[in-house]
């Protein structure tokens, strides 16, 4: 069975991705199998640039087919912030509860209690030194008046999704079917089902 490396150290993302790609003919490995490989610096100005950068870097480091993604939250009232800086917003080691406070403070300074917002996920699949597949998933919603829900991770507690009438942190298993990452990786799953023979699956 050919190897597919999931190039993220985020346990929540790994769990979601493994659920989507399970049973597709690949041995799914994470970066935990290569503990000595340092993370690359993310210098891209778009989610797509960062996803390609990471996919190519880890494909070269592991010698295996590699999928990487870059994702984040865009808030209209904040000019699209935090965007590609979502994970590093307020500092890479800042707890998300503090990131939420920074966002609410920034909205308040602009006279906004809430704002249209979206989650974006850009995905890149790399083999050796080339990108062989890309996809992008988005989900439109609003910034919730306050954090709600214990599930999910990252900014999920402050992202209200109107069709479900709740935040993604309250959506439980339904999140996988509607989320930005769910859409992007569903496209990858379909690609692998159709072209898996190219990679030995």
Q: What is the pLDDT of residues 97-118, one digit of tens each?
A: 999 999 999 999 999 999 999 9
Annotated active-site residue 70? The verdict is yes
pLDDT of residue 177: 87
pLDDT band at 198 (very low <50, low <70, confident <90, very high): confident
pLDDT of residue 92: 86
- 3-class state of residue 148 by DSSP: coil
pLDDT of residue 24: 86
- 3-class state of residue 120 by DSSP: strand
Of the listed 27, 70, 76, 93, which one is catalytic?
70
Share of the chain above pLDDT 70, in %: 100
List CB contacts of 93: < 8 A, sequence separation 6 or more: none
Q: Give per-residue pLDDT as tens, 35-87.
A: 999 999 889 999 999 999 999 999 999 999 999 999 999 999 999 999 999 99
Domains and CATH numbers, the chain: 3-199 (3.90.950.10)
With 80 as the cut, is the pLDDT of residue 201 above it? Answer: no
pLDDT of residue 85: 96
User: Strand pairing of 65-75 and 3-6?
Assistant: parallel
Exposed e or buried b for every residue in 175-200, given b needs 16+ CB within 10 A?
Answer: bbebbbbbbbbbbbbebbeeeeeebe
Average pLDDT, the chain: 95
Distance CA 144, CA 84 (A): 21
């Amino acid at each position: 069975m050919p190897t597919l490396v999931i190039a993220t150290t985020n346990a929540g993302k790994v769990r979601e991705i493994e659920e989507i790609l399970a049973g597709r003919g690949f041995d799914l490995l994470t970066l935990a199998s290569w503990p000595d490989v340092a993370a690359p610096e993310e210098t891209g100005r778009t989610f797509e640039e960062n996803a390609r950068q990471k996919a190519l870097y880890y494909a070269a480091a592991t010698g295996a087919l590699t999928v990487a993604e870059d994702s984040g939250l865009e808030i209209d009232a904040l000019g699209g912030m935090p965007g590609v800086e979502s994970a590093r917003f307020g500092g890479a080691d800042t707890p998300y509860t503090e990131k939420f406070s920074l966002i609410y403070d920034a909205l308040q300074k602009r006279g906004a209690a809430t704002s249209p917002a979206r989650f974006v996920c850009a995905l890149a699949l790399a083999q050796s030194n080339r990108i062989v597949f890309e996809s992008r998933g988005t989900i439109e919603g609003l910034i919730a008046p306050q954090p709600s829900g214990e599930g999910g991770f990252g900014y999920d507690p402050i992202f209200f999704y109107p069709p479900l009438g709740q935040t993604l942190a309250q959506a439980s298993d339904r999140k996988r079917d509607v989320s930005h990452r769910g859409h992007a990786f569903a496209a990858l799953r379909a690609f692998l089902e159709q072209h898996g023979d190219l990679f030995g699956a």
